[in-house]
Structure 1
Amino acid sequence: MFVRNRMSKDPVNVTPETSIDDALALLKVHKIRRLPVEESGKLVGIITDKDLMRVMPSDATTLSKFEINDLLAKIKIKDIMAKSVISVNEGAPIEEAALLMSRNHISGLPVISNDGAIVGVITETDIFDAFVDIMDLEEGKVRLTLEVDDKIGVVKDIATIFTETGNNIDSFVTCPKTGGKYDIIIRGNFEDVDGLTTKLTEHGYTVIQASHIGH
Structure 2
Amino acid sequence: MTVADYMTKDVITVRPTTKVNEAVSLMKDNQIHRLPVIDGNQLVGLVTSGTIAHASPSSATSLSIYEVNYLFNKMTVAQIMTKKVLTIAADASLEDAIYQMRQHQIGVLPVMKDHNVVGMITNNDILDAFLDITDYFQKAQVVQIVIEHDKTGVIFKIGEVLAKNNLNIQTLMVTRHLGEIVVEIHVDPQDGVEVRQVLEEAGFNTR
Greater Cα offset, 132-141 or 101-110: 101-110
**1:71-106 Cα deviation digits (max 9, x unpaired):** 333432222221221222222233332333233322
Q: Does 1:103 find its partner at 2:103?
A: yes
Q: Which amino acid aligns with 1:136?
A: D
Q: Does 1:189 find its partner at 2:188?
A: yes
1:1-215 aligned at under 5 Å gives the runs: 1-65=1-65, 67-113=67-113, 115-153=114-152, 154-179=154-179, 181-189=180-188, 191-208=190-207
* Equivalent position SS for 1:139: coil
Please tell me whether the aligned partners of residues 139 and 189 of structure 2 are also in contact (alpha carbons under 8 angstroms). Answer: no
User: How far apart are residue 28 of structure 1 and its match?
Assistant: 1.4
Please tell me whether the aligned partners of residues 109 and 123 of structure 1 are also in contact (alpha carbons under 8 angstroms). Answer: yes
Please tell me whether the aligned partners of residues 142 and 192 of structure 2 are also in contact (alpha carbons under 8 angstroms). Answer: no
Instruction: Find the aligned partners of 2:119 and 2:106 in 1 and give their Cα distance.
Output: 16
The number of aligned residues is 206
Identity among equivalent positions (%) equals 32
Unaligned runs of 5+ in 1: 209-215
Structure 1 residues 146 and 44: alpha-carbon distance in aligned structure 2, compared to 1, 3 A threshold: same
Please tell me whether the aligned partners of residues 41 and 116 of structure 2 are also in contact (alpha carbons under 8 angstroms). Answer: yes
Structure 2 length as normaliser, TM-score?
A: 0.87
Q: Which amino acid aligns with 2:203?
A: G
Instruction: Find the aligned partners of 1:68 and 1:191 in 2 and give their Cα distance.
Output: 61
Instruction: Find the aligned partners of 2:108 and 2:64 in 1 and give their Cα distance.
Output: 36
Instruction: Find the aligned partners of 1:53 and 1:161 in 2 and give their Cα distance.
Output: 58
Instruction: Find the aligned partners of 2:149 and 2:109 in 1 and give their Cα distance.
Output: 35
Structure 1 residues 21 and 193: alpha-carbon distance in aligned structure 2, compared to 1, 3 A threshold: closer
Q: Which amino acid aligns with 1:170?
A: Q
Structure 1 residues 61 and 193: alpha-carbon distance in aligned structure 2, compared to 1, 3 A threshold: closer
**1:99-148 Cα deviation digits (max 9, x unpaired):** 332333222221221x2111122222222222222222212112111111
Instruction: Find the aligned partners of 1:47 and 1:187 in 2 and give their Cα distance.
Output: 41
- Root-mean-square deviation (CA, aligned residues, Å) is 2.2
Instruction: Find the aligned partners of 2:194 and 2:35 in 1 and give their Cα distance.
Output: 54
Instruction: Find the aligned partners of 1:198 and 1:123 in 2 and give their Cα distance.
Output: 41
Aligned twin of 1:212: none
